[in-house]
Structure 1
Amino acid sequence: MAQKPFEELTISDDFMFCKVMEHEFICKEFLEMLFSAKVEKITYLSSQNTVIGNSAAKSVRLDVLIKDMAGRTYDIEMQVSNEYNIPKRMRYYQSILDVAFLDQGYSYKALNDSFVIFICLFDPIGKNRAVYSFENICKEDATIPLQDGTKKIILNANGFKEADNKDLQGFLRYVKTGKVTTDYTRRIEKVMQTIKISEQARKEYRVLPAVIMDAFDEGIEQGKSLGLAEGEARGSRQAKLETAKNLLHFGLSRENIALATGLTKAEVEAL
């Protein structure tokens, strides 16, 4: 499939969404708009993070990963096409974050609150709501929350008219139609125009598919001569190193990074 022209990218395109959200003031305002509350200072913000639960687990590439001063973590994803797997995908993303970010030897109580947020151009639940928020509660008594510190939120841009919050409604309208109607979407549009005149951003977009596929292609080629298993192992090494570097920035211990990625402690310490 041909790559979409750089000039035609919108906020709903994965590359542009990630580049826009890399701007802390845009990302912070999004969270404050969504939660209707002030968000602690952002201490970590990164896009396109490859996270591997362990050496045998399915890896995922997270769109935008955030940590605030209070220790809360947020994963924000843009979903354009409906593959009818959003609930279970959110479940997996939540679990892989927990596995990756709980240091070995720490109590389960050390798990910070985490939020998995999916912005969809379709309604994966089918009830025509703009916002679906899910937390674990007692089935026998809905007033009793499990208090496990997790929350999953689905934003349905297709149902933007149903949003009570006018700023959120304007954002979802912008995601769905590209129409600017609020101060926040005007700020996003300005950032997007700045990105579109950036030659560095244009170059990143042009080479991104090749970069993403490098590890896979290397595994295929080596698999032909070394055998499938060894080829796949070598092909995934670059992704593991990339993950380890991201986790180092996130403040994890080297021991836990080694466990999370399947690298040796010496390999992690060499980064």
Structure 2
Amino acid sequence: MSHEAKYVPPKRYPFTEDKIFGWVMENQEFCLYLLQIILPDLNIQKIVEFHKQDAMGNDDREAKDIRLDIKVVDDQGRIFDIEMQTTPSAYLGRRMRYYQSIIDGDGILKVGKDYSQLPDTYIIFLCSEDPSDAFSKKDDRAVHFFKTIDTKDGDLKLNDGATKVIINSKGDFASESAELKELANLMNDKEVSLNDQFIWAQNRVNELNKDRRSDIVSYEAKLMDRELYGRQEGIKKGREEGRQEGIKKGREEGRQEGQNEERLVGVKKSIDIALSFTQDDDAILNKVKSQYGDHFTDDDLKELIAKAKGKLLQEA
């Protein structure tokens, strides 16, 4: 790795850092608490399945695999995917759509089961930066719930059981609960003091910065190495593809040029032959146009006829 690309670790890793987030969220009591304050109307009581960094494969080898940050199932069979998003992306919505498709395709509806048994899913993205690039317009609200609705009647919803939640830690929390405001403070690495849950989380972040810092530094450095390698490979591949495309284009241009040269020789011969029978420009034009009209304009043919007649006069 070059000197310019060398990873320089920050003085402190926040809750939003990938490893920190995973280690804090693996405390199922805190994970359940976050789900309860984000989705209070669901009355979530218990987590019965918990998966951290759950790799979701795909039967199609060409398809993109994903790795869910936190995936849990509650005692009612509802599936919750909690993701930490630290960079703005105009394609956040499409990413959530892909996550939804992978979760649905992960064998959760067994053969012989009815579609009514397809579980409700909640994809939750905690964004440390403004996610508005992914929206159709700028929106400063902190919490967004997206469902499938009729575009002509916003009150008409399609009961597909899919909900997407986006929380913007930089958004306006004025109308949100005290708990969600405190979640924003935790995400923005500010002091928290609302209750024991958040105090525990912040203390856990502090502990991990002391006890697991070397592991995080190594992980982040590897991520940067992989990203740099990916960029370099992309540049290399792009150059090779460009070179191959250039060769292909050059060959095609050469082939076209050769064909054009052959056509030019052919049309000149046809004009010379026609001139041996007539000097009428229109008659000659009609003759050669029937053969070469797809490749030469009338003006081009007239110019070639004029040159051929001038050449005959000089030779005479």
- The two structures have a TM-score, normalised by structure 2, of 0.61
Residue 187 of structure 2: which of 175, 180, 197 is its match? 175
The equivalences for 1:57-206 within 5 A come to 57-100=63-106, 101-125=108-132, 126-183=138-195, 184-198=197-211, 202-203=214-215, 206=218
1:267 is matched with: none
1:27 aligns to 2:31 (yes or no):
yes
2:55 is matched with: 50
Distance 2:85 2:12 in 1: 18
Counterpart of 2:73, as a letter, is: K
1:16 aligns to 2:29 (yes or no):
no
2:250 is matched with: none
Give 3-state SS (helix, strand or coil) of 2:199's partner: helix
Q: What root-mean-square deviation, in Å, do the aligned CA atoms of Structure 1 and Structure 2 show?
A: 2.8
Change in Cα spacing, 1:136 to 1:171, as seen in structure 2 (3 Å) is same
Please say if residues 6 and 196 of structure 1, whose CA atoms lie closer than 8 Å, have aligned partners that are also in contact: no
Change in Cα spacing, 1:210 to 1:122, as seen in structure 2 (3 Å) is closer
Distance 1:49 1:2 in 2: 29
Please say if residues 12 and 209 of structure 2, whose CA atoms lie closer than 8 Å, have aligned partners that are also in contact: no
Distance 1:106 1:205 in 2: 46
Deviation at 1:112, TM superposition (A): 0.3
Residue identity over aligned pairs, in percent, reads 27
Give 3-state SS (helix, strand or coil) of 1:12's partner: coil
Give 3-state SS (helix, strand or coil) of 2:155's partner: coil
Counterpart of 2:130, as a letter, is: D
Moved more, 1-10 or 146-155: 1-10
Structure 1 residues 181-234: Cα deviation after superposition (integer angstroms, max 9, x where no partner): 4224212112223334445x8547635876997xx99xx9xxxxxxxxxxxxxx
Unaligned runs of 5+ in 2: 133-137, 234-316
Change in Cα spacing, 1:204 to 1:11, as seen in structure 2 (3 Å) is closer
Rg (Cα) greater in structure? 2
Structure 1 residues 157-198: Cα deviation after superposition (integer angstroms, max 9, x where no partner): 011533521110111122124332422421211222333444
Distance 1:155 1:27 in 2: 16
Give 3-state SS (helix, strand or coil) of 2:154's partner: coil
Please say if residues 19 and 216 of structure 2, whose CA atoms lie closer than 8 Å, have aligned partners that are also in contact: no
Please say if residues 76 and 118 of structure 1, whose CA atoms lie closer than 8 Å, have aligned partners that are also in contact: yes
Please say if residues 47 and 75 of structure 2, whose CA atoms lie closer than 8 Å, have aligned partners that are also in contact: yes
1:244 is matched with: none
Give 3-state SS (helix, strand or coil) of 1:64's partner: strand
Deviation at 1:70, TM superposition (A): 0.6
Unaligned runs of 5+ in 1: 221-271
Please say if residues 117 and 154 of structure 1, whose CA atoms lie closer than 8 Å, have aligned partners that are also in contact: yes
- The two structures have a TM-score, normalised by structure 1, of 0.70
Moved more, 21-30 or 1-10: 1-10
Moved more, 1-10 or 28-37: 1-10
Structure 1 residues 36-85: Cα deviation after superposition (integer angstroms, max 9, x where no partner): 24313101112111112323321011111111111011111111111221
